[in-house]
Every structure is written in C-alpha cells, then in structure tokens.
Amino acid sequence: MNKKIFSGVQPSGNLHIGNYLGAIKNWVELQDKYDSVFCVVDLHAITTPQDPEELRKKTIEVAKIYLAAGIDPEKCAIFIQSHIPEHTELTWILNTIIRMSDLSRMTQFKDKSRAISAKAVHKNSKGEIIEEKVMTGELLGGRTNKNINVGLFDYPALMAADILLYDTEVVPVGEDQLQHIELTRVLAKRFNQKFGETFKIPEAGVVKEGMRIMGLDDPTKKMSKSATSEYNYIGLTDDADTVRNKIKKAVTDSGSEIKYTDDKPALKNLINIYSLLDDKKPEEVVEKYKGKGYADFKNDLAEVIIKFLEPFQEKFNSLSDDEVLGILKKGAEKVRPMAEAKMKEVKEKMGLI
C-alpha cells in the first residue's frame, strides 16, 4: 500500500502563486505516489476573526483552486475540515497530553499574535462609539494582551489532530511548519507510550525548490495571502492587467544586470518564480537575459505568469459551487470511516466508555 499524506490550506486571504508553487503544485505530483487526503481547514481559519459570508465563499474558492490546479477527487479525498467532527474531538484528547511549555515555544503563535489587530470599542464624551485598533500581541505589563484567543494558542493541537487522525505518514510542508510537525511527532509518541501503540509517527516531506516564494514588495518576507498590500503577491485569480501591474511595481535590487545571487534577493525571487512556472533552471533564465535589463525581464515574467494562470483560471471558472460542494461531500464520506475508527481506538485506549 502507498504511504498516506495529509495537507490543507486555510480559506482566508487570497491564495497566490506562492501557495501554488510551495504546496499545491507538489500535491498534484504526490497524488499519484501516495494515498492522499487534502482538506480545506476552515477550523484553523477561525482562530483569527472571519466574516461568516466571506468564510463560506473562501471555503468553496479554496476547493475550486485545488481542483483547478489538478487535484483529482478520484485519486484523493478532498473535504472540509469542520465536516468531520473527529478533528475537534481528537484535539481535546491531545489537549490533555500537550503541555503549556510545548505551545508557548511555537514561533508561529508569537508571530501571528504580534500581527493580529483587534478593534477596541470606546465611547467618547458625547457617548458616541469610536473604534481604536490595538495590537493583540503587544506585551502589557509583561503579559500577552488578553485579546488573543485560546484557539490561536492551541492551533498546533488541532493541526496534530488533523494529521494523526488519518494515520498520516508524510506531511508535505514548508520550513515554517516544521516546528508543528515535530510537535505532532512528540504528541504521537507521548500518547503511544502512555496508552499503547495508537498513532503512526509522521514525517515532514519538505519541498526544497520553490517552497519559499517571497513577497514582491519585500523579498525578506514570505509571500502572504493575508498581506495588507495587494502588491505583495500574485493572486491565482488575478487578471492579466493586474499581473502586469504588480510585476511592473515589484521591488528589484540595485544595478541592472540579471543575476541569480543571494546579494540580489528581490531579483532571485523573481527568477525563482519565472523558472518554476516556465519549467526552466534559474541558470537558464539568467542566460536568456544576458545583456538585457530589468524591464525586459519583468515584461516577460508577467507573460509567463499570465500563460500559467490562463488555463488554471479557465478550469476554476468552469466549476460551479454545487459541483464543488458535491465533491467535498463525497470526500468527507470517504474519510469519515477512518476518522471514526481512529477515535474509537483512542477512546478505548484511554478508558472512555
């Protein structure tokens, strides 16, 4: 039997070419080699404030992106996380063996809690309601601001439950998720030692090439679907004119020569995007633009991106909401027996009747 993989994307923000090159493209290649489970992780999304209507819309949109990218529901299980209640049930079980020290070390929690803003509501002297943005990650008197929700802190327990519920053996992730996979391994071993062999110990399947596509406006930070500026990313649903405009405004380094070097991080990032979407080695891209400047390179890069997006968007736009919901329902039916069997085993091992 093939090894099993599990992965998922949150239905929040705007999915971009970094998400595709760093994750989804890899899933398409892996689905023929592994028993694959791909999830739209809506429960993870609500650890930060979400508009209900927007969340519903984005959940279907992410599933459409999976399908348009080439994820085949005949080969894989594609479903919505909240449709399988065992995800949250196992999270609670794991919460009883996870330690506060485990969670407090998570660097992503520290990063996200600093970045999240909330609205503090006050009344002025006239009794009128005013809103003031406050940073929830700021330290107040040496303690983290009380506006941070417990779900954000406990996020890794839910992620571990996602993985362990299906006897996942390989988790395709980027480097920024390695700490979460290591914690999942620790929890699986801890549970097995205490209650007997129950969970498989998963491994991280890190994709080296293309997993860290950086922001177009800041090559020192990863391209982000929740970026405040739309000029940070190329969205998978961006039209041709938008792509050209974003690439035209993309940050470049000093000088004019096309070089692939760490000394030119902005240019290196753009070359990576070009090479991955046009199936060329970075050295081949550099050779092609020998003696040419940034303008020629950027113009062609925009067209390479547009050429990639056209068939993707054609497939994306051809999918109806009802069709996608049907696929997601079938996917949930496919994984439900696995989730139920695993939870039954977990409860029996723990002495729960």
**Running DSSP on this structure, what letter comes out for residue 289?**
T
Q: Please spell the DSSP secondary structure of 105-162, one letter per residue.
A: T-HHHHHHHHH-EEEEEEE-TTS-EEEEEEETTSEETTEE-TTS-HHHHHHHHHHHHH
Residue 241, token pair as written in the block: 């004119």
The angle subtended at Cα 132 by Cα 120 and Cα 106, nearest 5°, is 60
Task: Determine the residue type at 316.
Answer: F
Cα–chain-centroid distance for residue 219?
19
Structure tokens at 161: 């439950």
Contact 305, 17 (CB under 8 A): yes
Among 335, 338, 351, which Cα is nearest to 96's?
351
Two structure tokens written together for 263: 């000394």
Interhelix angle 86-95/321-350, rounded to 10 degrees, is: 40
Can you tell me the distance from the alpha carbon of 81 to that of 162, in angstroms, rounded to the nearest whole number?
8
Question: CA dist 302 to 44, 242, 244, 247, 283, Å?
Answer: 33, 10, 5, 6, 19
Q: What residues act catalytically?
A: 112, 222, 225
Q: Supply 86's token pair.
A: 């065992």
State residue 184 phi and psi, 5-degree precision: -60, -40
- Cα 305 to Cα 250: distance, rounded to the nearest angstrom: 14
Q: Which residue has the tokens 């940073």?
A: 135
